[in-house]
């Protein structure tokens, strides 16, 4: 009976009628609906520059569901508006841990003249990423079916046993904490080697979300940071103090904790969603 109810909830005609009706009546005020009535099919939202962000889902994607209920900035609302502002002037953007491609698509729409590289190692998530790029008719996004780490090679990646897994990680420590996670073998590339191979002349913006291996990603892009000084939006579960001291501060970066009220200079207090911005740019360039 539970499986049948789930099937009915996800069936396209019923789902579209139910979600549209509830959204019209309550908007996103019904947290129960947002959590238990995920939208299937295409969702779309108009961006500040007039372009339309489109994502597709089978009711298995929290990102698309947030966009449907809360509009384009409803997913990670402390981070997405800042990222969009930075992406508007970015010529080359790297989305590390792209998942279904929300930030890659957002960057490509923010500046259609940019080149966006989206890295995603998990096969099902990668296919959804490609589908979302196609759905938006974007020609400035290249999807790279690899994980990103400190050095090139192969590694075991650990992930939930779901169709489009959230939380895939190269971290052996996280695997020990969550032994029920499944294991797959993936190709790994460092940002420095990728930048050299592609002969990129600049990197202006990087988003990193690799579920606790962000420090390894940063070590693998030391040359890129020194050469181009890109702004970096990065998730840290335990705070960014170590990375800022060791990697960013010597290069003249400032650290901001991302919050719904706007970026604030990092003072040791955890950011909403554990997302931080490292940049050499002035606050006025990406806030407000």
Q: Residue 2: what pLDDT?
A: 45
Q: Report residue 10's pLDDT band, with 50, 70 and 90 as the boundaries.
A: low
Mean pLDDT along residues 216-222: 97
pLDDT digits (tens, 9 = 90+) for 240-276: 888 888 999 999 999 999 999 899 999 988 888 899 9
What pLDDT band is residue 11 in, cutting at 50, 70 and 90? low
Q: Is 46 a residue whose pLDDT tops 60?
A: yes
Q: Taking the model in full, what pTM does it have?
A: 0.92
> Rounded mean pLDDT of 53-70?
92
Give the pLDDT of residue 231: 98
Among 14-28, 41-55, 155-169, 178-192, the minimum mean pLDDT is found in 14-28
Mean pLDDT check: name the lowest of 21-35, 100-114, 249-263: 21-35
Q: Where does the pLDDT of residue 55 fall: very low under 50, low under 70, confident under 90, or very high at 90 and above?
A: very high
Query: Got the DSSP string for the chain?
Result: -HHHHHHHHHSHHHHHHHHHHHHHHHTT--HHHHHHS--EEEEEEE-TTS-EEEEEEES--HHHHHHHHH-GGGSSTTTHHHHHHHHHT-SEEEEES-TTSHHHHHHHHH-TTSEEEEE--SHHHHHHHHHHHHHTT-SSEEEE--EE-SSSEEEEEEE-SSSS-SS-B--HHHHHH-TT-EEEEEEEE-HHHHHHHHT-S---EEEE--SS-HHHHHHTTHHHHHHH--EEEEE-SS-SHHHIIIIIGGGT-EEEE--TT--EE--SSPPGGGEEEEESS-GGGT--
What is the average pLDDT score of the chain?
A: 90
Instruction: Calculate mean pLDDT across residues 215-226.
Output: 97
What is residue 12's predicted lDDT score, i.e. its pLDDT? 64
pLDDT exceeds cutoff 80 at 34: no
Model confidence over 144-196: pLDDT tens digits?
Answer: 999 999 999 999 998 988 878 788 888 888 878 878 888 999 999 999 999 99
Give the pLDDT score at 6.
Answer: 52
pLDDT at position 7 over 50: no
pLDDT on residue 175: 78
- 143-147, 234-238, 243-247, 283-287: range with lowest mean pLDDT: 283-287
Mean pLDDT of 2-23: 62
């Amino acid at each position: 009976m539970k499986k049948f109810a789930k099937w009915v909830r996800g069936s396209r005609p019923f789902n579209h009628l139910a979600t549209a009706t509830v959204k019209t009546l309550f908007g996103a005020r019904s947290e129960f609906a947002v959590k238990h009535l995920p939208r299937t099919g295409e969702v779309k939202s108009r961006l500040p520059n007039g372009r339309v962000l489109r994502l597709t889902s089978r009711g298995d994607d929290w990102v698309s569901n947030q966009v449907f209920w809360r509009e384009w900035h409803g997913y990670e609302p402390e981070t997405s508006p800042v990222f969009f502002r930075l992406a508007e002037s970015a010529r080359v953007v790297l989305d590390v841990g792209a998942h279904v491609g929300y930030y890659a698509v957002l960057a490509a729409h923010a500046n259609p003249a940019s080149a966006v590289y989206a890295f995603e190692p998990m096969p099902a998530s990668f296919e959804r990423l490609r589908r979302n790029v196609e759905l938006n008719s974007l020609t400035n996004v290249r999807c790279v079916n690899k994980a990103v780490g400190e050095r090139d090679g192969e590694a075991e990646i650990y992930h939930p046993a779901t169709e489009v897994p959230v939380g895939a990680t190269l971290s052996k420590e996280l695997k020990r904490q969550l032994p029920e996670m499944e294991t797959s073998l993936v190709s790994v590339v460092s940002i420095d080697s990728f930048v050299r191979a592609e002969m990129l002349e600049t990197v202006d913006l990087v988003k990193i979300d690799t579920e606790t291996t962000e420090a390894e990603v940063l070590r693998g892009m030391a040359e890129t940071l020194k050469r181009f000084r890109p702004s970096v939006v990065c998730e840290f579960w335990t705070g960014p103090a170590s990375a800022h001291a060791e990697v960013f501060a010597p290069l003249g970066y400032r650290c901001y904790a991302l919050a719904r009220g706007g970026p604030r200079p990092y003072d040791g207090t955890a950011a909403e969603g554990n997302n931080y911005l490292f940049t050499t740019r002035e606050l006025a360039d990406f806030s407000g």
